[in-house]
Amino acid sequence: MRMETVLFDLDGTLIDTNELIIASFTHTIEKYADRPYTREEIIDFIGPPLIDSFQKVNPDLVEEMMATYREHNYAHHEQYVEAYPTVVETINELKQAGLKLGIVTTKLSDTAKLGLKITGMDQLFDVLIGLDDVENAKPHPEPILKAMNLLHANPMTTLMVGDNYHDIEAGHNAGVKTAGVAWSLKGRKVLEKHDPDYMLEEMRDLLAIVGVE
């Protein structure tokens, strides 16, 4: 069955914000934690909502840490953020082919919109669901279900694309097809353990999967 709707995670999937995220975590942890954290420890924080990560660092100062992180992250977007190879042209082709397109992210909506604007993709998506738009973040199905509801999408013809196991699990929980991306900072083997229906070597691979080429 031909896919009609494609939902995307943002960071690590469409746009490369890995170094920005690591820099923002490092800046925040240096200010609030009781010890230095390694790069590997910080990479483990990428994906889940900030509140979950900072609970592990210092549960008494979570709000302060989130505010510090977000201030740093927003201020340094233009310095770090760029789209992954073949992403922009692929999204444009999907749009021109008439597919419904959405973003489902654990970022706040305003910060997500900034990343899309910097990479020239701010006019390409029909819906954006950020952390501030839902009660439950991925891997809970709510963000995907909300996007599908707004798009009047059929789960049978919807695909969720992401770089983190939270994205794949959220897709499974919402009853849609899933695709992992091989450029995930977590590594493709981590994603493959969660049984995505597809694995993209580059974003252009999506065109054949959804039936555009």
Give 9-43 pLDDT, tens digit per residue.
999 999 999 999 999 999 999 999 999 999 999 99
- pLDDT score recorded for residue 47: 81
Q: Reduced to 3 states, what is the DSSP secondary structure of residue 105?
A: coil
- pLDDT score recorded for residue 99: 98
Model confidence pLDDT, tens digit, residues 52-111: 999 999 999 999 999 999 999 999 999 999 999 999 999 999 999 999 999 999 999 999
Mean pLDDT of the chain: 95
Which residue segments constitute the domains of the chain, with CATH numbers given?
A: 5-16+82-210 (3.40.50.1000), 18-79 (1.10.150)
pLDDT confidence band for 212 (50 / 70 / 90): confident
- pLDDT score recorded for residue 185: 86
Say yes or no to pLDDT of 142 above 90. yes
Separation CA 164–CA 29 (nearest Å)? 22
Averaged over 38-53, what is the pLDDT? 91
Percent of the chain with pLDDT over 90: 92
C-alpha 80 chain-centroid distance: 16
Separation CA 165–CA 195 (nearest Å)? 9
- For residue 130, the 8-state DSSP code is -
- pLDDT score recorded for residue 28: 97
- pLDDT score recorded for residue 199: 97
Say yes or no to pLDDT of 1 above 80. no
Radius of gyration of the chain (CA): 17
What's the whole-model pTM score? 0.92
**Residue 179 identity:** A
pLDDT confidence band for 48 (50 / 70 / 90): confident
Averaged over 189-209, what is the pLDDT? 96
Averaged over 117-128, what is the pLDDT? 97
Task: Tell me the catalytic residues.
Answer: 9
Say yes or no to pLDDT of 213 above 80. no
- CB 50, CB 66: distance < 8 Å: yes
Sequence-ordered alpha helix ranges (H) in the chain:
18-32, 39-43, 50-57, 62-75, 77-80, 87-96, 109-118, 142-151, 165-174, 188-192, 205-210
- pLDDT score recorded for residue 96: 97
